[in-house]
Structures are given as structure tokens and as C-alpha cells.
Amino acid sequence: MFARLLSTSLLIFSCSAVLATEYRVGELQIDTPWSRALPPNAPAGAVYFTVKNGGLTADRLTGADTPNAAKTELHTHLRTGEVMRMQRIDSIEVPAGTAVKLAPGGHHIMIFKPKRPLAAGERFPLTLEFEKAGKVEIEVEVRSDAPASAGHEHH
Ligand SMILES: [Cu+2]
């Protein structure tokens, strides 16, 4: 009896966890949007997620917007000699049949002057705009650590 109750509750938990972190627009799927928790006076933060293109044509992320920031930009990291620095980019390519990871040390969405502190456990909406698939609103979870499924980009 106990074992049966336990397995039922585990099943319910895992289903809701998946539903809460996946978003679809057209042929695109956006997984596990998150932002790293920062001190209350931090001037900027970054948003990460994985976007999978299950379609047959390439798409690209062309912009993002959130009511929780004064300004939002698409960024990547570039290595110049031994120095890694961030640079603004106009778009992020999502080729057909691939998954593109926005992650620390790589592509990310920069949010400037967060209106509410990026405290662990907070959530805020973010609208993504894709060239072909159009707009989709996702919810970003503020976390002190990267989610297990997000991994890390190599520098
Ligand atoms: Cu940046």
C-alpha cells in the first residue's frame, strides 16, 4: 500500500515538473528557462535555456523582452587571447533539427536593471521573439545553481 502511494505521487510530481518547464511555439521547444540568483543591487542578470528546433527549416531568436528589466539584449561570449568577454549579437541561430543551448560562458539573454531582485525562487515572464515561429512567453525561474538538465558550456 505504501509503495503504491509512493509511486503514484512520484509520477504526479515528475509530470508536473516537466509541464512547468517546457514551452512550444511552432516547431520550437524551449526547455528549463532559468536565471542565476544575484545580490539585490546587481545591475544586470542573464537568462539561459535550451531551444530545440524539431522542424525542417532554420529559425533564429531575434529578441527578448521582460517587464522585469529596463532593457534586454542577446549576448554571447567571445575569447580574446586569455580574456572572455560578452558581446551583443543581433540573433541566435537555431538550425533545423538541432538544440541550441544558452548557458553560462556562452549565449545568453542579458537583462539590465532588474526591477525585482533576482532572488532564488523568484519567477518572472520573458517574451522571446523568433523570426519564423513568432513570439512566445516563457517563465524564468531564478536559481542559485544551474538546473541538472542545463549543463555547462565549455570555455
Ligand atoms: Cu551578457
Which pLDDT score is estimated for 113? Answer: 96
Which pLDDT score is estimated for 148? Answer: 81
Question: The C-alpha cell of 93 is what?
Answer: 541561430
Between CA 136 and CA 36 the distance in angstroms is 21
Residue-wise burial string across 88-103, b where 16 or more C-beta atoms lie within 10 A, e elsewhere: eeeebebeeeeebbbb
| Residues whose Cβ atom is located within 5 A of ion ligand 1 | 75, 86, 110
Tell me whether residue 31 is in a domain: yes
Q: How remote is the CA of residue 154 from the centroid of ligand 1, in Å?
A: 16
* CATH value at residue 45: 2.60.40.1890
Query: How many other CB atoms sit within 10 Å of the CB of residue 35?
Result: 26
Tell me whether residue 150 is in a domain: no
Tell me whether residue 3 is in a domain: no
Domain enclosing residue 136, as ranges? 23-143
Between CA 125 and CA 36 the distance in angstroms is 15
Tell me whether residue 91 is in a domain: yes
Q: How remote is the CA of residue 108 from the centroid of ligand 1, in Å?
A: 6
Tell me whether residue 104 is in a domain: yes
Q: How many domains does the chain have?
A: 1
Between CA 27 and CA 119 the distance in angstroms is 32
Tell me whether residue 155 is in a domain: no
Q: How remote is the CA of residue 7 from the centroid of ligand 1, in Å?
A: 42
Between CA 65 and CA 77 the distance in angstroms is 20
Tell me whether residue 7 is in a domain: no
Tell me whether residue 12 is in a domain: no
pLDDT (tens, 9 = 90+) of the chain, 155 residues, equals: 455 554 444 454 544 444 458 999 999 999 999 999 999 999 999 999 999 999 999 999 999 999 999 999 999 999 889 898 999 999 999 999 999 999 999 999 999 999 999 999 999 999 999 999 999 999 999 999 998 865 444 43
